[in-house]
Each structure stands twice: as C-alpha cells, then as structure tokens.
Structure 1
Amino acid sequence: MGLEMPKKAPIAWPESREDLLASLQGAGLPAGTALHLAEQAQPALLLETGLADETQIPLGASKIGGLPDLPLDMAWPERPPYEDAVERARAHRLEAARLLSEATRPGSWMTPEQARLFSRERSDLASAVESVFPLAFIAQLDLASLSSHAGYPALLPHHGRLLFFCDYWERPPGFDPYTAAGFRLIWDRTPVEQLERKPAPAALAAMMGERWNSLFRPAAVTARSVFTAIPPSDRNFDAFAHGEDAGTFWDEDSDEIRYEGWLARFDTPDSREGPNHRLGGWPAPLQNGMQAMAKLATHGIYCGTGEAFNTAEARRLLKTAYRWRLLLQIGRDDAVGLLPSGCLYVLMREQDVRARAFDKAWMVFQND
C-alpha cells in the first residue's frame, strides 16, 4: 500500500494587485496574460478564526460558530418542511434500511453498531425534513468593523450585521429550487444594546455528541485584506483571444495549466490549513457550475441533471448567469467543527446587493 504524501500548506494570497501580478509573472505566464489576470483580480477579506470563550466575544461582533446575537423579539430562524419532503424522507428511509442490510454482508466496512448509528441518523433526518426544524447558525459578520479593511466588498452596507444560517444536517443541493427553504441570510441593523445571544434550540442541542452535529464551537474572526484571482470555471472569465494577432494570447495547452497550477498554490476551501472563509472576491470552487445552478434554481428549474441545461429556457437564462457573484465562502474549519469536507458558497447578484435584498441570495454546497 502506498503512503499518502502530505499536502503542502497553502501560501497566502497577495495583499496588493502588484504583488499578485508579480506572482503570476513568476509562474511563467506571458506578460500580457499575467497583466490581464491581475486586472481581473478582486479584493476580498479572508476571515481567519480563533477559538474563543463565547462570553469573551462581544455582542454583535464577527464570529463563526457559537450562538447568534439576534434582536430581542427575533426567534432563532427555522425552516418549514421541505416542499418535496415526501420524496426526501423516502430517500432517507431507503438509505437507512440499506445501511442496516450492508452491515450483514461479509467484509462490510461497518460494524453492526455503526450501521445502527448511521441508520438511525438517516431515519431521524427523514423525520426532520418533514417537520419545522431550526437552521444551524454558521456565521455572524459585523459589517461596521469589517468595512474598515481595504478588501471589504464595495457594494455591501457599512453598518449592521450579516447572519448566515443553513440546514447543515440536510445541506440541500444548490441545483434544487427547494433549497431556498434550507438557508437564511439576514441583514440585521438592530442596535447592539437591543441584541440577545439566543440559546440553542432543543432540536439542535439534542444533536450534540451525535455523529452529525449542527452546533459549532465559537470562534472570533480576524479579517485580512487580499486580492483573489478569477478561477477559469467562473462565467466572468473571458477566455482571452486566440491567435498571434488577436491581442492577449491564451494557450489552453500551456497557459491554462500554468494558471490552474498557480491557483492551486493558494487555497482550497476544504484544506486543513485554511483560512478557508472569505467575504467577497472570487470563489475557490471545488466543482464547476455554481453560477448556473443559482440562475436556474432561483427560476424554479431543477438542474441536477445535464438535460436541464439543454432546454431553450435554460439556455436563455444562462446568458446572464455571470451576474451571480460570490458574497460569502465558508469552508472547512476543524477547530470550529465545520465541514470536514466541502464548502458553502453564498451568491448574490450585484443589483440585489445594491437593493439590500439579501433574501434573494442563493446557497450552493460543493464537495470535492
């Protein structure tokens, strides 16, 4: 059996556009290509976490995990039963039965005790999707404090807090229109003296100690301004002109390989080293298609199959999928207890951010 080689720790994103350009040039990209990519780079805030005693984090301050600070008259956000709860619950119960059966096979990867635990989890999840259920608290961002940093997204308000909740247990996929019930992005402008740190709902507290937790250890957030580069999978990537007389030259057999190798040096949102969370900037995708999913799913189109993209309506809608941009990325955070694999992406259109219509955000979960 071969040994798994340890992954190299990611290097830090450049803190200026000039440093990013120099790094691109050092990767062997042509001068014009490197300059074009640097011009496309976007500022962002890396959100670095440090575990903290909940009592030491001030009310309304930025945090990931822990308990949310909500207005006195606001209850912990819940989702209704999913509109397709019958189908979801049936799939979970079938999986629960399969897991019990799997444990009886010779050479099974599970012990009978493990099978019972995993099967019970699936059965409980089947009941949960059919019921009103509290959303897990993921992050709280103090916009007034964060806006003092150079990498702060220009379109975001400079006051209040953004709070992000999601159905961490179910993690509804971004290609499903019914995912809308499974997350909440809230812009709260309540004065700090009118906030209350809400206790965990009983349904979430009961999950503590189980294999699938939806309450996380609290971590204070420190922001660092950086410049992020556009991934080739993003719909805003302009692909460059081809040919010696077409201006900036992009050779897919060499430049793209160099560029993707250069991007991989910085971060993947499910790395152990982090920081894997960011506000604004370009995303670090684990898969392709998050903008297309956001566009189609918010128009009621289930796009979990390739056929969904081939309809005339989908092709029409996808012409403006590029307008969906990253607002918030939450990746792996072992100390907090978040996402041993995968990443949560919150996307919005610029027009909705300008209108402060944070209820029009979309969430995509990706797993490598």
Structure 2
Amino acid sequence: MRYLEIALEVLKEIGIFVLIMLAIAAVLILLGMASGYIHLALDKARRRKRRQSGQRTNGGSHIRGRMTRMARPTLLMTPTKHPGFSKLGGEPELPPGQAWPPGQKASRAFLVQVDLAEVRAAEGPDWLPADGRLYAFYDDERPGFVDLVQIVHSREPASESAPCPTDVSPKLRFPERRVEFLRFRSIPSLDWLGVDLRDLDDDVDLDELADLPNEVFGDELQHRIGGYPSEIQDEQMALSCERLRRGLDPHDGEEPTPAILRASKSWRLLLQIDSDPALKMNWGDGGMLYVFIREQDARAGDFSKTVTLFQCY
C-alpha cells in the first residue's frame, strides 16, 4: 500500500511538471505570435507614414519599372543547323600549344567554347572583346571555389579538336552540340536588385515580379552569355562574387561595407550553364553554373579573375 501511495505521489508531481512545461510552451508561442504581429504592425505603420509624407513606396509598378530600365542584352545558346565554332560539350578546338587545364585531382572537363566575333555579330554584351575565343573547363573537385569553372581566352587560330585526357571522368565527357546565339532582353530579379521584401506594399504580387525575369525564355534551357543570372536560390550574386574574390565567406551574414557594395556593381554574368539531360549535364539537382567577371577585366581581355557560383534545387 505504501508503494502505491509513493507511485501516486510521483505521478502527481510528474503531472504538475508537465502542466507547468505546457504552460511555459503556450506562453512562448503567444509571445512569438505577439512579436510577429507587432513587427507586422510596425512595418505597415512605417509604409503608411511614408505614403502620407509623400515618399515613393516600393509598389509593384515601381519595382517593375526598375527591372525594365535595368534590362541588359543576353544571348541564348540554342542548337543550330549551320554549325560554326561555338558549341557546348564535345572536344575543344584549342589553338596549337594551348595546354589542357589541370584540375585539383584530374584534368578539367570541357564545357563550352565561344567565338567572340559571333557574339559581337549577335549584338551580345558590348563589354566583351570583339574577337578571340573563350573556352570553359570545369572541375567537380572545386565546388565553393572561385575557379570551379576556369576560362581560357585566346586570340590564336583554333586547331582541330583536342582529344580529351584519359583521366577525365566518363561522366564529365559531354556530347557535342553546336550552337547559335539568340538575343533577348534580360531583366534583373528581386535578388539582384537587393529589394527588401519588407519594404514592399501589401498589394504587390510577389509571384508576378519573381516570374518576370524568366518569362521571356519560356521553357528553354538557359545556356546564356551576358545579362542577369536566373537564380534558383535567394542570393545577391554580385555581392557573393566580390566577397569570394576578396577571400571572404559570402554567407557570413555580415552587412557589406560601402567599399564592397561599390565594387560589387562591376560584376557581370559571363556564362550561365544549365543542367541539360541531352548533354548529360547535371549540376547538383538540376542546378546551374554561373561564371562572373568584372566588366573592366572583360574589356581588358583578362579572364583570369572570374568567379563561379553554383546553385541547385
């Protein structure tokens, strides 16, 4: 009988403890809800005050206007029946004497070659040289490093296809596709603009603004030159490029300094390489490779300081 009384007493104490913990949890939930409501009310009050004082708000039409005004030309690389020099995959037509770039553990995989005269004829970015050729090579041992993709620039005449080194993994030997360039207007995303969603008016259709940059491309695979990147994840890529080039962590959460903000404005999308089942290209889970360069470096023909970013689903 004594054991039963002890057991009942223990159960009673446990019950009281559980009730106390549930009460504490309920209070914390209510405090969290109240905090969220207060922040929401403060944001609304701030926007209302801004409207009443005559300041311009970040409405949908204002943001759309900024996106349109900042549009840049981009060239979509599409299959062609009239083959020229530019292509995705296959074997590169390197100039005589040009060494195949080494990777961290093996030779790099060849991605793409581009005739800059063809790019200029298609009215591509005016900050690229008017002649010469670009070759892009990939090292899957370098994710997170600026040289995940390495660019080789040459003004020497191209030769016949260079055989792929035997140490390149078979899964990184991509089929060949000759391409031509189709010109589009590329519109920056909300991420590229650095828009703070908390500053937007309540009636802004975020989905519409988010879809706007990709509308023009439809269902096309986005192998592109120039323009703005098609981000998969939230990221201000120009800032990431500047931080990485300075040897900083792009995701450290620190506010960018004025110097970094100014310098980030010079970064341009050089290449965007999409996942492409027909070419057996798959970056992570259907992701993309983004190669950036400073405009002043591109104009000078210096492709040694590019930064590659990678995103996937």
TM-score (norm 2): 0.71
The answer (yes or no) to whether the contact 2:151–2:304 under 8 Å persists in 1 is yes
Judging changes above 3 Å, is the alpha-carbon distance between structure 1 residues 29 and 294 closer, same or farther for their aligned structure 2 residues? closer
Measured at CA, do residues 40 and 330 of structure 1 come closer, stay the same or move farther in structure 2, by a change above 3 Å? same
Deviations 1:220-278 (A, max 9, x none): 012101101110101x45779x7xxxxxxx6365143421133454459xxxx423111
Name the CA distance, whole Å, in 2 between partners of 1:37 and 1:289.
Answer: 15
Q: Report the equivalent of 1:146.
A: 119
Closer/same/farther in 2, CA of residues 298 and 73 from structure 1, 3 Å limit: same
1:92-133 deviation per Cα after TM superposition (whole angstroms, max 9, x unaligned): xxxxxxxxxxxxxxxxxxxxxxxxxxxxxxxxxxxx3xxxx2
- Indicate the residue corresponding to 1:137 in structure 2: 110
2:186–2:213 CA contact under 8 A, matched in 1: no
Q: Which residue of 2 aligns with 1:286?
A: 232
Larger Rg: 2
- The letter for the 2-side match of 1:315 is T
| Aligned with 1:189 (options 155, 158, 161) | 155
- Listed as ranges, the matches of 1:133-282 within 5 Å are 133-150=106-123, 152-167=124-139, 169-173=140-144, 179-192=145-158, 195-204=159-168, 207-208=169-170, 213-234=171-192, 236=193, 251=201, 253-263=203-213, 265-266=215-216, 273-282=219-228
Q: Give the alignment partner of residue 72 of structure 2, picking from 42, 46, 62.
A: 42
SS in 2 for 1:221: strand
What's the offset of the Cα at 1:157?
Answer: 0.9
Cα offset for 1:29?
A: 5.3
AA of the residue aligned to 1:351: Q
Distance in 2 between residues matched to 1:181 and 1:264, nearest whole Å: 27
* Aligned CA distance change for structure 1 residues 74 and 62 (closer, same or farther; 3 Å): same
Question: What do the CA deviations read for 1:43-102 (whole angstroms, capped 9, x no partner)?
Answer: 11111136x9xxx956xx0000000111211121113x4xxxxxxxxxxxxxxxxxxxxx
Q: Deviations over 1:310-330 (max 9, x none)?
A: 27xx53553232322211111
Using the TM superposition, give the Cα deviation of residue 302 of structure 1 relative to its aligned residue in structure 2, in angstroms. 3.2
- Report SS of the residue matched to 1:359: coil
SS at match of 1:202: coil
1:49 and 1:171 mapped to 2: Cα distance? 29
Q: For residue 98 of structure 2, what is the aligned residue in structure 1?
A: 74
Q: Alignment partner for residue 319 of structure 1, among 258, 261, 266?
A: 261
Distance 1:62 1:318, change over 3 A: same
Q: What does 1:337-356 correspond to in 2, within 5 Å?
A: 337-339=280-282, 341-356=286-301
State the one-letter code of the partner of 2:269. L
Q: CA deviation at 1:297?
A: 1.4
Instruction: Single out whichever of 319-328 and 224-233 deviates more from structure 2.
Output: 319-328
The equivalent residue for 2:56 is none
Question: Which segments of 5 or more consecutive residues in structure 1 lack a partner in the other structure?
Answer: 1-27, 82-127, 174-178, 243-249
Q: Say if 1:38 and 1:309 are closer, same or farther in 2 by CA, change over 3 A.
A: same
2: distance between equivalents of 1:171 and 1:253? 43
Unmatched tracts of structure 2, length 5 or more: 1-58
Q: Is the 8 A contact 1:216 1:336 kept in 2?
A: yes
**Alignment length (residue pairs):** 250
Summarize the Cα distance change of 1:317–1:34 in structure 2 as closer, same or farther, 3 Å threshold.
closer
Name the structure 1 match of 2:310: 365
- Kindly tell me: are residues 218 and 349 of structure 1, through their superposed partners in 2, closer, same or farther at Cα, counting changes over 3 Å? same
Partner of 2:47: none
- CA distance in 2 between partners of 1:252 and 1:278 (Å): 34
Partner amino acid for 2:102?
E
- The answer to whether the 8 A contact 2:75-2:184 is kept is yes
Letter in 2 for 1:295: E
Judged with a 3 Å threshold, the aligned counterparts in structure 2 of structure 1 residues 318 and 200 are, in CA distance, closer, same or farther, namely same
Give a deviation string over 1:170-195, Cα, whole Å, max 9, x none: 3511xxxxx24543111111124xx2
Match of 2:254 among 310, 335, 338: 310
